[in-house]
Each structure stands twice: as C-alpha cells, then as structure tokens.
C-alpha cells in the first residue's frame, strides 16, 4: 500500500474465561491482525488485499468482518455515500481458532478507517460497528471478543449487544498460557451444541463461579481465582470436539496452573498462571499433551492477562 495509509493492529482475545460465557474476555499481546486503510475515489468499502489467510477469507466486503465493520463505521458517520476506503488485511491469527479472529479483523479495520478519515467516532460507535461485524461472522452479536480487542485489558460485557463494558483490575502477576491446536472449530457450530435452557443448579454454580472470579481478580486473591475457573454450562458440551483437551487440562494443572479452560469456543486452550515463566512452561506442557493424546500440533503463546487493545502502527505486526 502507498504511504497515505492508516494502519492498525488489533490483538487476539481469550473469551469466556470458563465461567464467564459471553461476558468476559481479555486481550493477549500477540498474535493479532493488521489492517491498512487508504482512500479511494469511489465511495464505499473494498478489500484490496488479504494476506496470511491461505486464500480462505471472503474478498467480498459484505462477507468479510473487516469490510462489514468499516462499512458500518462509514454508515454510522453518514459518510458511506461520500468516502471510499480500500482495506488491506494481514491476518496474523487463523480463523475458527477460538482466539477472536473475526473480531480482531473487524476492530483493526475500524481503528484504521477512523484514523484515515479523521472521524469523531466514539468508543461506543466503534464497539457497535465491531459487534455488527461479529454478528455477520458468527450469527450472534456477542461482544466478549470485540470489546477486549478494541479497548484492551480484561473486560466484563453486558447488556443488549454488549452495550455495557467494564474493565476489571487484574493482578500484575497473573499471566496466561494459550495454545492453538491446528484444527478448526467454527463458533457457529460450537454455539449450536449449547442448550437454550440450563438447569437451576448449573445456573447457580456458574453464577457463583463468575462472582468468585471477579472478586478474586479485584482482591488479588489467586486462590479464589483458581477455585472459580470452572464452566459447568458451555465447556462440558463443547470439549468432545476439541482434540486432547482433557490431556491438556491435566498437563496444565500438573505444572501448577491456576486453572485451564477453552478459549472462546475452542479449539484454543488457555491457562492462568502466576508469572510469565510459569506461563511458558504450562503452554509447552499443554501443547505436548495435545500432541501425545491427539497427534495435533499447537502454537504456544504466553501473555499478561489483559494486554493493550487495538492501536495504530507503522508496519504490520508479525
Ligand atoms: N462467547 C463466545 C462463545 C465466544 O463461547 O461462543 C466465541 O468466540
């Protein structure tokens, strides 16, 4: 792309955090997606180029979350008939990985486009446009990936369409290991296995765990955090589709991790640890366990829990 380009990076995210289904998510340092945006003569949004996706993503802006998000932003600002934007998307994270891939593309496109046209878009405008893109990608407008990718940190999202976002304090010594087994699970399919209704005892247990997790984070009480990292609603119904999950959980806990769970709808798996060194060891142990149990290799990442969100960058972030 030529020089008159605005470029933004948006990080991958871990959502749910076990007991916070559709409510909690946090940004990790890397990987993430980079989107470059430049002005074109004809109004509307086009996708000029996508790299890093193996040719899999739609180039039609109406079907690609980056395109949908940028278009939604122009519409929100009343500029869709006046301004033309071409996007160049560099995928740093694979789709159907449980790491908020569609969300990162949408968020990076919004931040790059807003900077390009020097728009006075509010955070709420940007969030709404990103959620709209998520709805196109997954069939539901859940905000637990787009909100942390946009704002950074660890966030609680609530309300219709994720309209209320609260950032939670996170103990500085809290880190995460994340492994991404090389298989794909589509969020839409992973949501289809979930029941419409849950039992009273499941609801009570989940609410208790979620409350304990939030209190544990705010009080810097990692023992309480560890006791709360249990999902009795979504994860038990999803893990059969995740190769090596049980082995990864056992291996992660054996290294001293505070808890292990699915990242979003999987197949990625996260663990909370005390300290970055522990996160590195836990990640390697979980990846080895998945390889041994299911013959699937994994990428391994470690990060503080709640890294910075989307930002403008000079060059694509690799
Ligand atoms: N909260 C969502 C789910 C995240 O678990 O379906 C998916 O990206």
**Which residue from 13, 139, 145 has its CB within 8 A of the most atoms of ligand 1, so it is best to mutate?**
145
On whether both 88 and 15 belong to a single domain, the answer is yes
| 197 domain-assigned | yes
**Which residue from 139, 149, 190 has its CB within 8 A of the most atoms of ligand 1, so it is best to mutate?**
190
198: domain CATH number is: 3.30.70.890
> pLDDT band at residue 235, thresholds of 50, 70 and 90?
very high
Quote the CA–CA distance of 112 and 38 in Å, as a whole number. 9
On whether both 164 and 201 belong to a single domain, the answer is no
Task: Judge whether residue 234 has pLDDT over 50.
Answer: yes
Q: Which residue has the CA at smallest separation from atom 6 of ligand 1?
A: 265
**Number of domains comprising the chain:** 2
Task: Judge whether residue 280 has pLDDT over 80.
Answer: yes
On whether both 112 and 21 belong to a single domain, the answer is yes
| 286 domain-assigned | yes
pLDDT value of residue 160: 76
159: domain CATH number is: 3.30.230.10
| 97 domain-assigned | yes
Which atom of ligand 1 approaches the CA of 22 most closely? 1
Q: Which residue has the CA at smallest separation from atom 1 of ligand 1?
A: 22
On whether both 39 and 70 belong to a single domain, the answer is yes
Higher pLDDT, 136 or 190: 190
| 63 domain-assigned | yes
State pLDDT tens for residues 164-181. Answer: 999 999 999 999 999 999
Task: Judge whether residue 3 has pLDDT over 70.
Answer: no
Which residues, including other chains, have CB under 8 Å from residue 240's CB and lie 6 or more apart? none
Residue 105: give the domain boundaries.
Answer: 6-168+307-312
Task: Judge whether residue 296 has pLDDT over 80.
Answer: yes
Q: Which residue has the CA at smallest separation from atom 8 of ligand 1?
A: 264
pLDDT value of residue 315: 79
Read off the tokens for 158.
């609530």
| Residue in this structure with the two tokens 């989940």, named with its chain if needed | 206
pLDDT value of residue 139: 79
| 266 domain-assigned | yes
Helix 123-138 to helix 65-76 angle, to the nearest 10 degrees? 140
On whether both 155 and 215 belong to a single domain, the answer is no
Parallel, antiparallel, or unpaired for β 44-51 and 84-90?
Answer: parallel
Contact 123, 150 (CB under 8 A): yes
> pLDDT band at residue 57, thresholds of 50, 70 and 90?
very high
Task: Judge whether residue 241 has pLDDT over 70.
Answer: yes
CA of 175 to the centre of ligand 1 (A): 21
| 56 domain-assigned | yes
pLDDT mean over 281-304: 98
> pLDDT band at residue 1, thresholds of 50, 70 and 90?
very low
On whether both 287 and 159 belong to a single domain, the answer is no
Task: Judge whether residue 124 has pLDDT over 90.
Answer: yes
Quote the CA–CA distance of 106 and 7 in Å, as a whole number. 13
pLDDT mean over 5-27: 97
| 318 domain-assigned | no
The set of protein residues with a Cβ atom below 6 angstroms from ligand 1 is 15-16, 21-22, 100, 142, 144-145, 187, 190-191, 234, 264-265
Quote the CA–CA distance of 85 and 37 in Å, as a whole number. 6
On whether both 205 and 105 belong to a single domain, the answer is no
Task: Judge whether residue 119 has pLDDT over 90.
Answer: no
pLDDT value of residue 266: 96
> pLDDT band at residue 64, thresholds of 50, 70 and 90?
very high
On whether both 181 and 119 belong to a single domain, the answer is no
CA of 29 to the centre of ligand 1 (A): 20
On whether both 198 and 161 belong to a single domain, the answer is no
């Amino acid at each position: 792309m030529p020089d008159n380009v605005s470029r933004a990076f948006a990080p991958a995210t871990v959502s749910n955090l076990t007991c916070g289904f559709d409510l909690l998510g946090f940004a990790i340092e890397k990987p993430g997606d980079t989107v470059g945006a430049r002005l074109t003569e004809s109004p509307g949004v086009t996708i000029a180029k996508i790299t890093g996706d193996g040719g899999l993503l739609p180039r039609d802006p109406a079907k690609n979350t980056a395109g949908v998000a940028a278009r939604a932003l122009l519409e929100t600002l009343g500029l869709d008939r006046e301004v033309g934007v071409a996007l160049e998307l560099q995928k740093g994270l694979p789709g159907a990985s449980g790491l908020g891939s569609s969300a990162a593309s949408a968020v990076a496109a919004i931040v790059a486009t807003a900077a390009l046209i020097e728009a006075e878009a509010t955070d709420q405008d940007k969030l709404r446009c990103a959620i709209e893109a998520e709805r196109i990608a997954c069939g539901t407008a859940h905000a637990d990936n787009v909100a942390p990718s946009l704002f950074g940190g660890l966030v609680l999202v609530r309300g219709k369409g994720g309209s209320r976002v609260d950032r939670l304090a996170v103990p500085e010594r809290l880190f995460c290991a994340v492994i991404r087994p090389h298989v794909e699970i589509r969020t839409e399919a992973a949501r289809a296995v979930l029941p419409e209704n849950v039992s009273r005892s499941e609801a009570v247990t989940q609410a208790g765990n979620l409350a304990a997790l939030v209190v544990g984070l705010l009080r810097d009480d990692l023992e309480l955090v560890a006791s709360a990292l249990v999902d009795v609603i979504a994860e038990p119904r999803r893990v059969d589709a995740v190769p090596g999950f049980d082995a990864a959980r056992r291996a992660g806990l054996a290294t001293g991790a505070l808890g292990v769970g699915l990242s979003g709808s999987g197949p990625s798996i996260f663990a909370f640890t005390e300290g970055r060194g522990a996160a590195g060891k836990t990640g390697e142990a979980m990846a080895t366990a998945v390889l041994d149990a299911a013959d699937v290799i994994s990428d391994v990442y470690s990060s503080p829990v709640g890294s910075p969100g989307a930002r403008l960058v000079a060059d694509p972030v690799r």
